[in-house]
Amino acid sequence: MAVSIRLSRGGAKKRPYYKIVVADARTGRDGKFIERIGSYNPMLPKDSEERVKLDADRARHWLSVGAQPTDRVARFLDAAGVRERAARSNPNKGKPGEKATERAEERAAREAELAEAAAAAEAEANAPAPEPTPAEEPTPADEASNEGQSTSEPAEGADEAAPADGADKAE
């Protein structure tokens, strides 16, 4: 028979009170038990001696015959000096889950992009304006290549329907 040392709830609604009992592991939480070895009143302050009452001799006896304490009762037994409780290691305690981590990474990437864009815009706004270069005068080579063209003819791609002499501009 699997025997456990556990808490059995009593008390009123929102006013819990627990008995520390030795019970068959297959029975209900508040059901039949083999022996009551203490009590726990969580409504009392943590430094109160009346908060946890435990018969240490009976607890040692039940542990010696193979009873397994629950996590909370193991804490009480450790505090009473009956049984050492091994420290648990939870490396993920306090860290967010996978999805929260993904969302945080996406948010950080988005913020980095916005910061880069803002820095680029600020750098562009603060950059000195380029000095206007004077219009280049045609070199003799350019003049030689333009000799065969008359200025009265429209350039290629220009609208041929537009008058070349500017007679309509006077109206």
What was the pLDDT predicted at 160?
54
Cα separation of 110 and 28, whole Å? 53
**Sign of the alpha-carbon torsion through 154, 157, 160, 162:** negative
The pLDDT, as a whole number, for residue 144 is 58
pLDDT tens for each residue of 2-32: 999 999 999 999 999 999 999 999 998 888 8
State how far the Cα of 6 lies from the Cα of 74, in Å rounded to an integer.
9
For the ranges 7-16, 123-132, 139-148, the lowest mean pLDDT is seen at: 139-148
pLDDT at 29: 87
Please, what's the b/e burial string for 24-47 (b: 16 or more CB within 10 A of its CB; e: otherwise)? eeeeeeeeebeeebbbbeeeeeee
Separation CA 2–CA 52 (nearest Å) = 25
Q: How many residues does the chain have?
A: 171
pLDDT tens per residue, range 25-74: 999 888 889 999 999 999 999 999 999 999 999 999 999 999 999 999 99
Q: Which of 50, 52, 44, 1 is nearest to 23 (CA)?
A: 1
What average pLDDT does the structure give for the chain? 83
CATH fold for domain 3-80: S16 Ribosomal Protein; Chain: A; (3.30.1320)
